[in-house]
Structure formats: structure tokens, C-alpha cells
Amino acid sequence: MTPVEGVELDGALAVVTGGAGFIGSHIVDALVAAGARVRVLDSLVRGHRGNLASALASERVELVEGDIRDLAGVRAAVDGADVVFHQAALWLLECEADPRAALDINVVGTFNVAQAAAEAGVRKLVSASSSSVYGEARRLPTAEDHPFDHRIFYGATKVAGEELLKAFHAKHGLPYVVLRPLNVYGPRQDYRSAYVSVIPLFVRKVLAGETPIIFGDGSETLDLVYVEDVARANLLAATSPAIGAYNVATGRETSLTQLAETILQVMGSDARPRYEERPGKLVSRRRGGTERAARDLGFTAQVTPEEGLRRLIEWVRQDSSRERAGAS
């Protein structure tokens, strides 16, 4: 196969599936800052045009409304692209609620993106996987060679996506990187819907003057990685000659109790969380290995949880104020 070279982003055409979503819109912002032209493909089911307001104002970003399950639409979106960032996916809790949709979107959709990228001669495909592929960690920090040991449909779809990209690389020479982010948080994270993760749910409770709830005994840990760090990792993956799977992590554990205390402190609240029995079992500890990404991609997380949570909380406050103003 032809040796892989990194993509020069200045002047390149980059396609971002799911680019109006939480992580995808931050990738779009980073690409605009790097001088790229960007085509966003998004169904706008969970993504929002508002997430792209600044990027669209640059006049170097095009938003195409479409679904990755539509191969013809994906082919049209990817046509002429130098690099593709694949972020479109059904989220974890939604996958558990509707496994058939998880298959159609996360597996068939990823196949469509890879097929279109291979046909278009894309120079690099950077695809979102997840630390969910590891399941309960057998060792910490959890490096990329940890066996797949998930127990959920979401994890199964992400493993399938990774294996599909390996096959496209072997058969068609499609250069790819899959990134396995740990616990991503930051501005534009959904804090309104039924499918929210622990951080926005906690912030929402405190803002509403309600008692924040920790499910479990609070000892479970997260590896909190800020969304702008994740976006930067995606660009580094595109510009590097790397092939394969990489964690996007800080290598630092934060317990749910520590997380709650930090959020309450930043928000100036004297509330105390209530502990309740967890419905079902979650992974007890997360701490991602960081050596491989540092060595091959030049990626090291820069934003601490304390600073990142401060930024997230400020964004939620501003967003809530805008929503209230719009409703009045």
C-alpha cells in the first residue's frame, strides 16, 4: 500500500458527519481556525444549527442536511473531500433503548461513510469510537491493546465500526484513525433531553435548585476529557501519518463524589448530593492510557477538569438565560 501521509488542513475540504452536534461542532470550529473548508453532514435530530453559528458566519462552512443511512447522500457529501471526520452516531442510552436503530445508524451508517470515503479517494478518515469498547477495565490505565469486553449494544456497534474500518483499509487502502474518547464534557453538551450523561444532569439539577443525585456510592471514576481537547485530537489524527485506534484521555481519575463537589464549588452552591441505588451497573473505573496518542499523534490533554467544568457551567448558565429570554 502507498505510505500514508498526514493531511495539510489549510485549504483542504473536510467533511464532518454529525458536525452540528456536541463534539462535531467543536471539530468544525477547529477546522475553520486551521484554514480548512468544511462541509457538515447532519440529520439535525440531535445536532443544532446554533452549534455552528460562528462557523457558518465564516462563509467557509456548508451545512448539508442528510442521514448517514442514505448512501447516495453520503457519497454526494464526501465527493471531493480531502479528509472526513465521522462523528454521526446514535448515543449510548438511545442504543440501549433501540438496538435496531443502533445497528442501522452506527454500523450501516459507518459502512456507508467508509465506502463513500474509499470511492472518493479520501486521504484520511478519522472516526469516533468510544472507550465503551473496553467494558469493565481489567487494568488501569487502560491502553489500546485492552481486549474488547463491553456488555452493551452501543459498545458492540463501536467495535463493529472499528472492524469495518480495518477491513476497508486492508481491502481498499483507506487511511483511517479511530479515536476512543473517554468521558467527554464541555459546552454544547445536551443537558435538556432524557438522554443526558452525569455531568449535564448534575449541573441541570443544581441550576434548578433541586437536590443533585449520585447513583451508587460515588466511588465510580471517570476520565474527564474536555471537548476542545477531543477536537484537537481529531485534527492531530488527520495531520499525522498514524493508522489505527487511539485513546483520547487525560489519564486522570475523578470519582463521582469528587465531580459533584467540584461542580457545587464552581457553582457556589451549598447543596449536598443525595446518594441513591444505581439502576443497573456501570463501569466502576475509567482511566485511559495516554502514551500511544502522545507518541503517534502528539496529543496530550491540556484542560483540567476544574477549568473545563468552570467553562461548561458558564456556558449552561448563558444558554439557560438565552432560552428564558427567548420564552419571555
Q: Which of 134, 154, 176, 191 is catalytic?
A: 154
89: how many CB neighbours lie within 10 A of its CB? 28
Is 191 part of the annotated catalytic residue set? Answer: no
Question: In sequence order, what are the beta bridge partners of 221?
Answer: 255
Question: Three-state secondary structure along the chain?
Answer: CCCCCCCCCCCCEEEEECCCCHHHHHHHHHHHHCCCEEEEEECCCCCCHHHHHHHHHCCCEEEEECCCCCHHHHHHHHCCCCEEEECCCCCHHHHHHCHHHHHHHHHHHHHHHHHHHHHHCCCEEEEECCHHHHCCCCCCCECCCCCCCCCCHHHHHHHHHHHHHHHHHHHHCCCEEEEEECEEECCCCCCCCCCCCHHHHHHHHHHCCCCCEEECCCCCEECEEEHHHHHHHHHHHHHCCCCEEEEECCCCCEEHHHHHHHHHHHCCCCCCCEEECCCCCCCCCCCECCHHHHHHCCCCCCCCHHHHHHHHHHHHHHHHHHHHHHHC
Report d(CA 163, CA 169) in Å as an integer: 10
What cell numbers appear for 218 in the block?
A: 460515588
Query: φ and ψ at 199, to 5 degrees?
Result: -70, -55
Catalytically active residues are 154
